[in-house]
Structure 1
Amino acid sequence: MMKGAALRRGLLLAGAAGALATASGLFIDYGLRAGTSFVPPAEDVCVVAPSRVVAPHPYDPASGLGVHDPRPIPADARCPVCGMYPARFPRWAAQVIFNDGAAHFFDSPVDLFMFLDAPERFGTTRAAADAVALYVADFDSGDWLSAREAVFVRGSAARGPMRGPDLPAFADATAAQAHIAQQGGQALRFGQIDRGVVAGLRDATHAQHLH
């Protein structure tokens, strides 16, 4: 009896030691990898509480980029309109760069246009007139395009980051028409996206999120 009890006690102690070693290893591994960039799957959905005051990211002279050039989206950058993380949506992202080189990043073109329509609504002291460069991601390649030169598609079946209608952007009319042939919609230039277009997209995409 005594031998059996001692054996069971030894097995339990060995099991506990093994579990502790495994947990310690996982903790150390997490600590080593915690600083690495997170790359979400393509179907990832970001659902976060809106962030009403988002400070623009300052220009970094050490980046090697021009003060008004498009720049990579920081992993921690949040959209000033909805609070989502634009770096998770490279096919939809947009950015505005102000005269001093500071930048705001957006998870989609709709949010960029909403911001430009009424920046003060989102807790910023910046005015739309302070924006000297506007960029949107090419929906096909993810490359940055000048928003003023891009062709947008309104009414596409492609759903934006908030799973609502948005404005996928393309480098030229040919690429936009190829998308329309598959997903439907209407091609619009930057100047055609007026307050009425923005209001309709805002209501369809953000009605349940923005109050």
Structure 2
Amino acid sequence: MKKSLITLLFFITLFAINTNAQEMFQTVDLKEATLVKEDSSKEFCNVCGMDLPKYYKTNHVTEFKNGHKEQYCSIHCQAQIHEDYEDKIKNIQVVDTNSLKLIDAKSAFYVVGSSKKGTMSAVSKYAFLTKNEAEKFIKEFGGEIHTFDETLKIAKDGLEKEKKILDEKRIPVAKKGKKIFESMCDINQMKDFNSIGEAKQYLIDNKICNNLDAQMLQAVSVYLYNPILARDNSKAIKVPEDAKCPVCGMFVAKYPKWVAQIKLRNTHSHYFDGVKDMMKFYIEPSKYNHNHSKEDILQINVTDYYSLDSIDAKEAFYVIGSNVYGPMGEELIPFKNETQAKKFMEDHFGKKVLKFEDIKKEMLF
């Protein structure tokens, strides 16, 4: 019995080791990786923030026409950049799975769908210098050979589905990141980011946080890039799925980042897809077929831009004239923190920070 138990434990350990090796097929030592960037983002992906040596065998390097180079952990992240900046790209390189050298992506042979784990995608994509090397890989691990353009199209076609999967996985990470940010970072330095990698570089370069290890830094970066993943639903404005904005007629629940609410005494609530529409209704309800007086209103709530918490509209600070747009275009952006509002105004070319009583009818059209 004892011998059988020892044997069982041996095979469980062996399985765990082999499984981990399978999961980390992409990983190489830092000294084996060619990293092309020279700034503080040198070792992580500019899109997702993940460690480049850890996912090195799927790395891609893009050189832009202005000479700037960026490095991405995968063709998934490369595809996101390609969609937005294709006309600015000069050339793309990919890591050859065997030699670990950077090779021209256009002439590489990609094996798509092997049994080796993918990076940022359930469907793996590994590149090889020669067709012969790709075929040898297929004999052992399966998959099909594709050109770069074909593989890029596969990656682009899967972006929307993969983004949803990744966002689900990132929810606990973002929630952890929010707690870390609020306890160990300067919350007045909050701002918008186009990618996790951009947020990560900002944190490093500006020393926003104290004593973060690699995992904590990634978690905070995930949160800053997409705060909605860490939203505390118990603190958010609860919107019925069928609620329509009385001003523009849009379904409000589709825009959780912009929700505003007017609660009436002993009757019902109106929901809006932005502060601007809410204020139009508040100032002139009869224009939208309602005859509420100011005395009928019990509470007015808006959504804090960063935390996504419901806050008292009359206590909030609003940035007008910024380059950040809501569902209905130009918007009054609400904040519970005046310092954050002022920084947002500076970052996004806003014209002024207003209090509730400062908002006038002529500002809304």
TM-score (normalizing by structure 1)? 0.58
Q: Which residue of 2 aligns with 1:34?
A: none
Deviations 1:32-55 (A, max 9, x none): xxxxxxxxxxxxxxxxxxxxxxxx
Offset at residue 85 of structure 1 (A): 1.2
1:129 aligns with 2:295: yes
| Unmatched segments (≥5 aa) in structure 2 | 1-233
| Unmatched segments (≥5 aa) in structure 1 | 1-64, 203-211
Deviations 1:76-96 (A, max 9, x none): 100000001111111211000
Q: Which AA in structure 1 matches 2:357? A: G
Q: Which residue of 2 aligns with 1:180?
A: 345
Offset at residue 170 of structure 1 (A): 0.4
Q: Which structure's residues are more often helix, by fraction?
A: 2
Q: 3-state SS of the aligned residue for 2:339? A: helix
2:331 equivalent among 151, 166, 189: 166
Q: Aligned in 2, Cα 1:71/1:91: closer, same or farther, shift over 3 Å?
A: closer
- What is the distance in 1 between the residues matched to 2:338 and 2:237? 25
Tell me if the contact between 1:153 and 1:188 (Cα under 8 Å) persists in the aligned partners: yes
Q: 3-state SS of the aligned residue for 2:286? A: helix
Offset at residue 128 of structure 1 (A): 3.1
Q: Which residue of 2 aligns with 1:91?
A: 257
1:81 equivalent among 247, 272, 282: 247
- What is the distance in 1 between the residues matched to 2:325 and 2:236? 24
Q: Which AA in structure 1 matches 2:349? A: G
Aligned length: 131
Offset at residue 143 of structure 1 (A): 0.7
Structure 1 residue ranges (4+ consecutive) displaced by more than 4 angstroms after TM superposition: none
Tell me if the contact between 2:236 and 2:308 (Cα under 8 Å) persists in the aligned partners: no
Deviations 1:43-69 (A, max 9, x none): xxxxxxxxxxxxxxxxxxxxxx9xxx9
2:314 equivalent among 132, 137, 148: 148
Q: 3-state SS of the aligned residue for 2:245? A: coil
Offset at residue 107 of structure 1 (A): 0.4
CA RMSD across the alignment:
1.8
Q: 3-state SS of the aligned residue for 1:187? A: strand
Tell me if the contact between 1:120 and 1:127 (Cα under 8 Å) persists in the aligned partners: no
Tell me if the contact between 1:70 and 1:95 (Cα under 8 Å) persists in the aligned partners: no
Percent identity among equivalent residues?
Answer: 34
Q: Which residue of 1 aligns with 2:275?
A: 109
Tell me if the contact between 1:119 and 1:128 (Cα under 8 Å) persists in the aligned partners: no
Larger Rg: 2
TM-score (normalizing by structure 2)? 0.34
